[in-house]
């Protein structure tokens, strides 16, 4: 999926507001990464497939 710069910008703003009050980094690491890469249009399936390879 190709995202425009404006769409990424909107997603980044939303993402930052959603995660601003996160306190426990270890407990939220995986959901944070899934949502962060989603901001860029990268699916969680491809992220964790790569994680298992390395």
Is residue 9 over pLDDT 90? yes
**Closest among 38, 5, 2, 4 to 19, alpha carbons compared:** 38
Residue 42's closest CA among 31, 53, 34?
A: 34
C-alpha 14/C-alpha 47 separation (Å) is 21
Phi-psi region of 4 (alpha: psi -120 to 50; beta: other; left: phi over 0): beta
Mean pLDDT of 5-14: 96
pLDDT for residue 44: 79
pLDDT value at residue 25: 78
pLDDT digits (tens, 9 = 90+) for 12-54: 999 999 999 988 878 888 899 889 999 999 887 877 666 655 5
pTM: 0.73
Q: What pLDDT score was predicted for residue 20?
A: 93
């Amino acid at each position: 999926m190709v995202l425009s710069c404006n769409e990424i910008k909107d997603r980044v703003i939303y993402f930052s507001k959603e995660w601003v009050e996160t306190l426990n980094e270890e407990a939220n690491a995986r959901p944070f990464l899934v949502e962060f890469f989603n901001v860029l249009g990268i699916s969680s399936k491809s992220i964790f497939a790569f994680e298992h390879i390395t």
